[in-house]
Amino acid sequence: MCDVDRPETVSRRFPQAPASAAAARRLVRDVLQDIPAEPADTAQLLAGELVTNAVLHARTEAEVSVRVHDGRIHVQVSDDRPDRGPVPQYGPPHAGTGHGLALVEHMASRYGVEAGDRRKTVWFELWTDRRPPPSSGWETAVPRGSSASTVTLVDVPSALCSASRQHRHTVLRELTLAVSTGGEPGVRPEDLATANDIEHVLSAGMADASAEPLSEAPLRSLRLPMPADAAAAVRVLRQVLDVAEEAARKERLLTLPALPRGRAFQNWMFDQILGQLAGDHPTAWTVVAHEPDVRTSELMPWDVSHVRAGRFPTIAADEGNRIIAVNKPAADLLGWQPDDLVGRRLTTLIPEHLRRRHSAAFTSLLLTGRARIVGRSVPLPALHRDGHVVPVRLYIETQEMADGRTVFVARLAPRATTFLMPGSADRAAPLSEDTSTPAPELPRSTSSAQAGMNALERLALLADTGAALNNSLDLREGLRSVGRLLTQRLADWYVVDLFTEDAQVDRVCVVHRAAPGLHPAAYEGRFPAVSETSRGPLARALRGAGPLLLTDAPPAGQTGSALDADYLELFRGLGAGSSVVAPLSARGEIFGALTVTRTAERRPFTQQDVSLVGDLVRSLALGVDNARLYQQSRNIAERLQRSLLPVLPEVENLQLAARYAASSATAQVGGDWYDSFVLPSGDTAVVIGDVTGHNLDAAIAMSQLRSMLRGIAVDRQEPPETVLRRLDLANHSLYREATATCLYGIVKGPAQGPWELTHSSAGHLPPLLTTWEGDTRYLEEGSGLLLGLDPAMPRRTANTALPARSTTLLYTDGLIERRDEPLDRGLDRLSLHAAALAREPLETFCDELLIGLGADSADDIAVLAVRPAPPPAAASD
């Protein structure tokens, strides 16, 4: 790191004031003035973050100590609150706070916390001369407080809980800073201190609970340890947060207030804590009555592809009023190319005379959470790129994301081809109009099915149905999501039948609105094909007839085949009073049928419902067809990828084993690959790489890279750095914008040994060498730039001796990387697993690594293991 050594420690105490963070950075800068810029700047940044935490959370004087010894920087920040252990927030990247400890984890070589009876010290070190020992983490031996009670939060959406915690952290920090400068009256310092203390207890408890293994359900229960006398402090926290939210609404804090769903969750959480501390039983989040726009289900991640793939003109904007996604129908309607609109203000598409009103209404929505036009069909003029006005009808809905953001999705239709039903009245205000009597929110219950849907409700159902199917990469889960939606708003039962490849009928999905004692899955399964004797309504729909309105169960005389008899039995089992059966078709092909049913106690379906179901099946059929095409494309890509994985060569006294595992979390195909072959010299080449992307293009690029590298390596037989440079040049001629990682190595040595690995890496993870005795080290020499960045950049080669029976592991990032976790932690985990498997057979070694580390990976995994195995006589020597 440096030639400067200051074994003496330089320390200074700083007051509990915001200015102390800057003063601490200046101290670190002065002490490290002779240190190279990069580690010195890193030390200043991390010291400032730790002092900021001490100022905001410990609220005592902070002592900063700096020392340079053996070329390594050691910085520690001490305060007088040992009971306030550090609690990482792990907020999303766009969050304005909560990244301090995460920065330390990511940038420091080592870090940890030590606590005594009177003081707590948080420290970090910066090393570059060798791999440091593992960090001790943020856990302290000091209890966070007396926890005589436990509060149970039932059916908590994990993402919403995390977003709510991040928001509380943000507004409390902003309020604390405002109060410290005298900028926010109405909060007593002692109340703010109490609020911060009890929020720390809550955050620590939630962090501990969230660290427990997750179940497969999107909702979970959290058990929070709480002091028995915490009720008064929780009430103070609630009051302080109310003040902070009001200040945020008045734009007096540098943060936005919570939107309705976040406020509802926070109020429920405080009610649960206070109630249970008083002896009440828990009440689940999912069973508490909420406002119409507050959903109890888990939030979804934002996926821009859902907008781009839509066939209806759609535009999405973020909380900053900037366009983040546009599909081609919307861009064509307004005279733009989709990419030219992304990043522009939404006001680009609003006539000038409406922009001020739009900005005022948009700001009001963010500050108050009150929507004036969301969920309503709004006639307004949109601005074409050439300046003329396009009359459109606009429907806006909000999508609250798992990371706390809100996305506004707008669907447009030219007013000449309105998507409202004929005869409907235009009751909504223009986009920017501030109406005093807004239109009612769309119903979220089945009451509308009893009385018939109006045009707006039909429109909302169509839009939500498309979104429900598109939000899932898995077709069956997408169909179930649609089923849950339709059985809430339209019917009691929902059934989807699809043709199989051999023309049989597969009942893939049966959903009931509320089925106590019923088992809808019992009606699913394979059924006979449509035969010439099939005359029932399902058979007719599967031949293309419909939508068909059934006011009663099919007569027994229409059971001309086993399929007809089964469908009649289904109607009886469902207690059907009336039904609509419609074919699912796209691109001239019929591939299934939809059945929606109401029981005899409900209002029967009418011809108006038949028209609605016809619109639904057209949208549903397109979604199903897209999903089937996507699955076919994925299967082709996966077959291509697997077909390109090589057969490993047989080399005397050199064992080779490899594994490839597709992602367990996505339905996409990646560019992970490995290879091994014998060079004309007799040496063995080993290769591993990862092409950027998760699609068919990545698989194709991977195959071309593999073929080019083999050709270059066999023809030239040059050092690894030269082979990679030639591969980079060749790749650049094919894919100028594409990048990939690749590691090319050559294992040399006679059958009796000694052996040597000569390798060069183009941005790939370092190989792991594990000796027979269980010692491990990463081979970090020979690293260089990724392929595709600068083909002219010189590369390096490293030479490493391979002990007999040692294992050299090449691997891709899916084996070690985890979301919201430093890379070093994954590397440490791999080292521990490899050391424990050092003496296992090589095939077992690879399988156990995938079982232990790859079960929940969100990425594809490829591994290639090499083990020199001397003949028995040499081994005994």
Instruction: Retrieve residue 468's tokens.
Output: 């429900």
Split at pLDDT 50, 70, 90, the class of 514 is low
Maximum average pLDDT range among 16-30, 302-316, 382-396: 16-30
Confirm if 717 and 754 have CB atoms less than 8 A apart: no
Q: Which residue has the higher pLDDT, 172 or 14?
A: 14
Average pLDDT of the segment spanning 239-254: 87
DSSP class of residue 56 equals: I
The CA distance from 408 to 755, in Å, is 61
Q: Which of 85-99, 131-145, 827-841 has the highest mean pLDDT?
A: 827-841
What residue type is assigned to position 522 of the chain? A
Rounded to an integer, what distance in angstroms lies between the CA atom of residue 202 and that of residue 639? 49
The whole-angstrom separation of Cα 108 and Cα 96 is 21
Report whether 846 contacts 854 (CB < 8 A).
no
Report, as an integer, the average pLDDT of 18-46.
92
pLDDT computed for residue 87 by the predictor: 83
Residue, of 854 and 639, whose pLDDT is higher:
854
**Rounded-to-5 percentages of helix, strand, coil across the chain:** 40, 25, 40
In this predicted structure, what is the pLDDT of residue 269? 94
**Cα–Cα distance for residue pair 688/757, rounded to 1 Å:** 14
pLDDT score at 663: 62
Q: Is the confidence at residue 690, as pLDDT, over 60?
A: yes
Tokens of 629: 């095409």
Q: Report helix, strand or coil for 119.
A: coil
Residue 688 has pLDDT above 90, yes or no: yes
521 burial class (0-12, 13-18, 19+ CB within 10 angstroms)?
Answer: exposed
DSSP letter string, 334-389: TT--HHHHTTSBGGGGS-HHHHHHHHHHHHHHHHH---SSBTSEEEEEEEPTTS-E
Q: Pairing relation of β-strands 389-400 and 314-317?
A: unpaired
Q: Which residue has the tokens 């909302």?
A: 460
- Rounded to 10 deg, the angle between the 720-734 and 696-716 helix axes is 140
Asked whether 298 and 393 are in contact (CB, 8 A), the reply is no
Q: Which pLDDT score is estimated for 298?
A: 53
**Cross-strand pairs, 123:** 76, 112
| Strand partners of residue 755 | 802
Instruction: Encode burial over 136-161: b for 16+ CB neighbours within 10 A, e otherwise.
Output: eebebebebbeeebebebbbbbbbbb
The DSSP output letter for 736 is: S
The larger pLDDT score, comparing residue 857 to residue 621, is at 621
850/134 Cα distance (integer angstroms): 23
**Residue 604 near residue 577 (C-beta atoms within 8 A):** yes
Residues 738, 788 contacting (CB under 8 angstroms): yes
Condensed to tens digits (0 to 9), the pLDDT of residues 100-124 reads 888 899 999 999 999 888 999 999 9
Placement of tokens 């000694």 in the chain: 754
Q: Please give the Cα distance from 693 to 673 (Å, whole number).
A: 13
Residue 834 has pLDDT above 90, yes or no: yes
Q: Calculate mean pLDDT across residues 129-140.
A: 80
Sign of the C-alpha dihedral computed for residues 385, 387, 392 and 394 taken in this order:
positive
Mean pLDDT of 362-367: 73
Residue 216: burial class (beta carbons within 10 Å; 0-12, 13-18, 19+): exposed
Query: What whole-number distance in Å separates Cα of residue 719 and Cα of residue 727?
Result: 12
Q: Among 508-517, 531-540, 650-659, where is mean pLDDT lowest?
A: 508-517
Q: Which of 213-227, 732-746, 800-814 bottoms out in mean pLDDT, i.e. has the lowest?
A: 213-227
Residue located via tokens 């006639």: 379
* SS3 category, 679: coil
Average pLDDT over residues 826-853: 89
Q: Which residues pair with 579 in a beta bridge?
A: 550, 597
Burial letters 288-306, b for 16+ CB under 10 A, else e: bebeebbbbeebbebeeeb
d(CA 832, CA 827): 9
Nearest one of 787, 789, 766, 790 to 776, comparing CA atoms: 766
What percent of the chain is modeled with pLDDT above 90?
30
- pLDDT tens digits, 462-486: 888 877 777 665 677 788 888 888 8
Q: How crowded is residue 372: how many other Cβ atoms within 10 Å of its Cβ?
A: 21
Gyration radius (Cα) of the chain, Å: 32
pLDDT of residue 774: 94
Q: Tell me the average pLDDT across 676-690.
A: 94
**Greatest Cα-to-Cα distance within the chain, rounded to the nearest angstrom:** 98
Whether residue 365 has pLDDT greater than 80: no
Q: Take residue 516 and report the two structure tokens written for it.
A: 């106590």
Report whether 805 contacts 770 (CB < 8 A): no
Average pLDDT value for the chain: 80
List the structure tokens of 759: 């390798």
Write down the pLDDT at residue 724. Answer: 93
User: How do residues 372-392 score in pLDDT, each as one tens digit?
Assistant: 666 655 667 788 999 887 877
* Angle, vertex CA 651, rays to CA 647 and CA 655, nearest 5: 80
Neighbours of 60 (CB within 10 A): 17
> For position 389, what pLDDT does the model report?
79
- Which pLDDT score, from 0 to 100, does residue 292 have? 53
Strands 6-14 and 62-69: antiparallel
Say which range, 81-90, 504-513, 518-527, 741-750, has the weakest mean pLDDT. Answer: 518-527
How confident is residue 839, by pLDDT bands cut at 50, 70 and 90? very high
User: Left, alpha or beta for 782 (phi > 0: left; psi -120 to 50: alpha)?
Assistant: left
pLDDT at 86: 87
User: In the structure, what pLDDT confidence band is assigned to residue 218 with cuts at 50, 70 and 90?
Assistant: low
Q: What gap in Å lies between CA 757 and CA 867, rounded to an integer?
A: 11
Which residue from 163, 179, 84, 171 is spatially nearest to 122, judged by alpha carbons?
84
- Is the model's pLDDT at 408 over the cut of 80? yes
Arithmetic mean of pLDDT, 67-77 = 91
Q: What is the DSSP letter of 81?
A: -
What is the model's pTM? 0.44
Q: Contact 204/144 with Cβ under 8 angstroms?
A: yes
Contact 227, 148 (CB under 8 A): yes
User: Would the pLDDT of 2 be above 60?
Assistant: no
Q: 602 in helix, strand or coil? A: coil
**pLDDT at residue 506 in the model:** 85
Provide the pLDDT for residue 791: 83
The rounded distance, in Å, linking the Cα atoms of 822 and 107 is: 9
Phi, psi values for residue 797, rounded to 5°: -125, 140
Q: Name the nearest CA neighbour of 570 among 600, 538, 601.
A: 538
Please, which pLDDT band fits residue 211 given cuts at 50, 70 and 90? low
